[in-house]
Amino acid sequence: MNRTTTLALCMLVLTACSSKERAPESYSANISPYNHTGDHIEAYVDGTFGGHSSAHGGGGSFVCCISYPAKWRPDLTAKVRWATSSGIPGDRRPEAYVQYWHEKVVPIEKYDAPGGTLNVHFLPGSEVRLIISNKRAGAKDYPGPAYPVRPSN
């Protein structure tokens, strides 16, 4: 092989290698809150507004966006900050409008493949679960809690 042919082959290999698409290192997800409590909730995830959720509801709206890595790792967390206020429809008492702020660092549960929505579940006792999934609460094989249900009383 002459020098020109060798150089041409090297250039072809380099061009082929550089044209391969790389998978993104991070993704973005809409935020969707699910409220399993009797309070109204206003939520933020890592400083990004995550929407409002009425008592025992949610999942119907999405707020854009948070960024997360393509590959899950055990130390993956997000800071969730939320305000609670009365969830009683028609409650006109002045204290019904008082917001109580809460904040905690919450692990993002393991996901096998990136993509989907960051579902934020607000559970009784100030517990919070963060689940990235293409499915919604209540869907078959959803990895988190069922859709919030309003108590009969």
Closest CA to 32 of 104, 130, 126: 130
Instruction: Quote the CA–CA distance of 32 and 106 in Å, as a whole number.
Output: 16
Rounded to two decimals, the pTM is: 0.80
In tens digits, the chain (153 residues) has pLDDT values of 555 544 444 444 444 444 456 767 999 999 999 999 999 999 999 999 999 999 999 987 678 899 999 999 999 999 999 999 876 666 777 776 677 899 999 999 999 888 899 999 999 999 999 999 999 999 999 999 999 999 887
The answer to whether residues 26 and 73 touch, using CB atoms and an 8 Å cutoff, is no
The answer to whether residues 117 and 31 touch, using CB atoms and an 8 Å cutoff, is yes
Transcribe 18-78 into DSSP letters: HHSPPPPSEEEEEEEEEE-SSEEEEEEETTEEEEEE-TTEE-S--EEEEEEESS--TT-EE
The answer to whether residues 119 and 141 touch, using CB atoms and an 8 Å cutoff, is no
* Domain segments of the chain as ranges: 26-133
pLDDT at residue number 23: 66
